[in-house]
Structure 1
Amino acid sequence: MNSAAMYPPVMAPQANMFGNVPGYEGTVPGGGGFLPPPMPMEPVAPPQPAPENPEWSIPSLSEDEARKAFKEFVSSHCCYSDAPVTQGVITSMEPFNTFRYRLETFTESRSTEWAQKPYEGEPADFYTQPAPQPWEVQATPPNLFSDHNVKIRVPFTSSVKECNTCHATGVEQCTECNGCGKKACWVCDGTGVKLDAACSHCNGTGKESCSKCNGRGKKECQTCKGKRQLLTYIELKVEWKNNVEDHVVEHNSGLKTDKLCSVNGKELFKNSQNLRQTVELIPITRVNYEWKDNTHAYYVYGNEHKVNADDYPATCCCVIL
């Protein structure tokens, strides 16, 4: 029998499969654009006074701390000799401390789309009450300045529809064997012959039972999971995002500014209201040293005492056997 006759082609969702919900007229399967929030009904509270600036001092790096950081840096590189660390002499240390200003803006955005899932007996509440508008749906926010996403089924938008993929049969044609229940034998490539004799795997037929559908030619519908019906509803996507912008003051130390992205500094000022503003002092020290009558330098930066030494003079090539 023609498998195409047994299994009609999969149809796209009907135009009336998704209902028309007041306030959600532009919602489509696959999602639409972000929805602007409503204007605030109450006046915005005035900003609170900023906290007083605490006392702070500029951190300084000692020679012992510089040597320790340098030693840890070299030991983390298998092809670096430690001779410059043990034999080198520090001649001077130059501070190039700089500032980093960070602005964090915490935002919430909402978007909607029609969604569907296998129907498992959930109440179909479509039109039993007016559906709340997107910004009226309650969503529990995370801690301030923390990224988070949540998906919420909008109340009073759920309805039950027949599955359009399997035509409410719960099964669909097996794509591995095209609904035949058999496919070409993998031993003889469908010829029925192996080494000038009938293939023992398929008894010379050139066919074997399809392992994906156990020879039935059909399998459980992947859309409705065999339930024959779908629950369709409007899904609200809520995204909280912390938008961060950094600016590092030019320091003219010779250390690339992008190196400072991975370190922390001493917090000098912080103001957290609707926005969070932070000013950090990032310590940078250029350490000059002599080794084998040549002058070299490395940088120690950040509270973590990270080291950058692009011109390290004692590298070698290693071969792992």
Structure 2
Amino acid sequence: MASSESSESCGPSAPPASMFDSMPGYEGTVAGGGGFLPPPVPAFPVPQPVPGPEQPHWNIPSITEDIARDAFIQFASNKCCYSSGPAKDGVITHMEAFNTYRYRLETFTETRSTEWTHKPYIGQPVDAYVQPPPGPWDIPAKTPNFFVDDKQMIKVPYTSSVKKCHECLGMGRRPCKECTGTGSKLCWVCNGSGFKDSDRCHHCNGRGRNNCSNCSGQGSRICETCHGKAQLLVFIKLTVKWTNNSNDYVVEQLSGLQMNKLSKVSGKELYRDSQYMVYPVIGFPNPDVMQAAQHLVNDHRVKFSQTSRILQQRQTIQLIPITKVTYTWKGKSHIYYVYGNEFEVDANHYPATCCCTVM
């Protein structure tokens, strides 16, 4: 019993280093991940300047009073504690438009990492040392959809070998944890005495022990690592990840609306430029947008080119409409905002609310 306990509690919990071979080009690869792999130096031309949008598209007409009121009524109707009175009966006294620019830069990258891994050996091909394995950036992967996150895992050719399972030491089975390898457990009804109230215990038939339900009385279970096969196919796994890295810059227009509200709405697209590497926007009328573009483009190149391969960049400029609406209700003045192409409403100080209690 003692040897079974020792085998279960002190057995290997991770593959030993000796289980993995050193492969040409993959000497630093370890079990559990070997970190990122620097990409090859690209041989693409330096991006050239692209003009910004033309002036006639810089402004969006203000929304009408009917649109502002309908949006406000819809907003109030979606709030269980809001009376419809202010939205329906309030008198709009002033509407002020704030057209806000949002610059967005997206950098679509590919990263590759390798690690030693294993699976039960069921007769798969073994090809280690048949020839040198291809480099991690030479292995073809599926063609990704640009600007959509994705991942693919690939078994590196010519790295597969067969090893004895490190968990069960090639036995295919491991001692049962529940019964410590004995196949039986103390009867909980008679506490191992075999008797209950001077009568023979019917639960264990007087044995004082019952067969372990966890291992069906065998004292061992099939090894979960090798699935009872006793051997493992050991190989290097390549993980390819495609990530769309996106950053926004919103020009503050001092409308009073919190800028984080704009993250979930869309605007009118004024400008779109997509290529391998974009050049910062030039010729745009708002200097803050051009300065943000210069900063973000430089930042993305420095940040992502060291650890990943840049496949495509995209920069866009949207004009997001914001309308500040002033209205009166019951002799007092209030404001709300209508913003985005979706006509979302923000009214933090709605004048007719109640407290609802869910019973």
On the 8 A contact 2:179/2:212 being kept in 1, the answer is yes
Correspondence for 2:340 among 297, 302, 309:
302
Specify the code of the residue in structure 2 equivalent to 1:293: G
Structure 1 window deviating more from structure 2 (120-129 vs 211-220): it is 211-220
Specify the code of the residue in structure 2 equivalent to 1:279: I
Find the residue that maps to 2:80 and give its secondary structure. coil
- Find out whether 1:259 has 2:298 as its counterpart: no
- Give per-residue Cα distances to partners, 1:193-245, cap 9 Å, x unaligned: 88998765445766443322222221111101111110000111111111111
RMSD (Å) for aligned C-alpha atoms: 2.5
- Which residue does 1:141 correspond to in 2? 143
On the 8 A contact 2:5/2:180 being kept in 1, the answer is no
- Which residue does 2:72 correspond to in 1? 70
Whole-Å Cα distance in 2 between the matches of residues 89 and 204 of structure 1?
Answer: 89
On the 8 A contact 1:3/1:178 being kept in 2, the answer is no
Find the residue that maps to 1:279 and give its secondary structure. strand
Normalised by the size of structure 2, how large is the TM-score?
Answer: 0.81
Find the residue that maps to 1:71 and give its secondary structure. helix
Structure 1 residue 13, shift from structure 2 partner: 2.8
Find the residue that maps to 1:288 and give its secondary structure. strand
- Which residue does 2:129 correspond to in 1? 127
Structure 1 residue 256, shift from structure 2 partner: 0.7
On the 8 A contact 1:3/1:180 being kept in 2, the answer is no
Whole-Å Cα distance in 2 between the matches of residues 118 and 292 of structure 1?
Answer: 76
Specify the code of the residue in structure 2 equivalent to 1:92: H
Per the alignment, do residues 127 and 188 of structure 1 end up closer, same or farther by CA in structure 2, a change over 3 Å counting? same
- Which residue does 1:53 correspond to in 2? 53
Find the residue that maps to 2:260 and give its secondary structure. helix
Structure 1 residue 191, shift from structure 2 partner: 8.2
Q: Calculate percent identity across the aligned residue pairs.
A: 56
- Which residue does 1:280 correspond to in 2? 318
Whole-Å Cα distance in 2 between the matches of residues 191 and 60 of structure 1?
Answer: 89
Correspondence for 1:172 among 171, 174, 179:
174
- Give per-residue Cα distances to partners, 1:131-168, cap 9 Å, x unaligned: 00111111123111111111110000000111011111
Specify the code of the residue in structure 2 equivalent to 1:268: L
On the 8 A contact 2:69/2:88 being kept in 1, the answer is no
Per the alignment, do residues 130 and 80 of structure 1 end up closer, same or farther by CA in structure 2, a change over 3 Å counting? same
Specify the code of the residue in structure 2 equivalent to 1:232: V
Find the residue that maps to 2:18 and give its secondary structure. coil
Structure 1 residue 3, shift from structure 2 partner: 5.0
Structure 1 residue 304, shift from structure 2 partner: 0.8
Structure 1 window deviating more from structure 2 (73-82 vs 203-212): it is 203-212
Structure that is richer in helix per residue:
2
Unaligned ranges ≥5, structure 1: none
On the 8 A contact 2:5/2:181 being kept in 1, the answer is no
Per the alignment, do residues 281 and 220 of structure 1 end up closer, same or farther by CA in structure 2, a change over 3 Å counting? same
Q: How does 1:153-302 map to 2 (within 5 A)?
A: 153-185=155-187, 200-202=202-204, 207-274=209-276, 275-302=313-340
Structure 1 residue 83, shift from structure 2 partner: 1.1
Whole-Å Cα distance in 2 between the matches of residues 91 and 241 of structure 1?
Answer: 48
Find the residue that maps to 2:352 and give its secondary structure. coil
- Which residue does 1:44 correspond to in 2? 44
Whole-Å Cα distance in 2 between the matches of residues 99 and 66 of structure 1?
Answer: 21
Structure 1 window deviating more from structure 2 (201-210 vs 211-220): it is 201-210
Per the alignment, do residues 35 and 189 of structure 1 end up closer, same or farther by CA in structure 2, a change over 3 Å counting? farther
Normalised by the size of structure 1, how large is the TM-score?
Answer: 0.90
On the 8 A contact 1:162/1:228 being kept in 2, the answer is yes
On the 8 A contact 1:179/1:218 being kept in 2, the answer is yes
Structure 1 residue 80, shift from structure 2 partner: 1.0
- Which residue does 2:354 correspond to in 1? 316
Whole-Å Cα distance in 1 between the matches of residues 140 and 223 of structure 2?
Answer: 34
Whole-Å Cα distance in 1 between the matches of residues 208 and 172 of structure 2?
Answer: 31
Structure 1 residue 49, shift from structure 2 partner: 6.9
- Give per-residue Cα distances to partners, 1:5-45, cap 9 Å, x unaligned: 895752353433111111110001011221111223xx414
- Which residue does 1:118 correspond to in 2? 120
- Give per-residue Cα distances to partners, 1:103-149, cap 9 Å, x unaligned: 11111111111011111211000011110011111112311111111
Find the residue that maps to 2:41 and give its secondary structure. coil
Q: How many residues align?
A: 319
Find the residue that maps to 1:251 and give its secondary structure. coil
- Give per-residue Cα distances to partners, 1:28-66, cap 9 Å, x unaligned: 1011221111223xx414547747736534142111111
Structure 1 window deviating more from structure 2 (294-303 vs 179-188): it is 179-188
Find the residue that maps to 1:64 and give its secondary structure. helix
Structure 1 residue 185, shift from structure 2 partner: 4.8
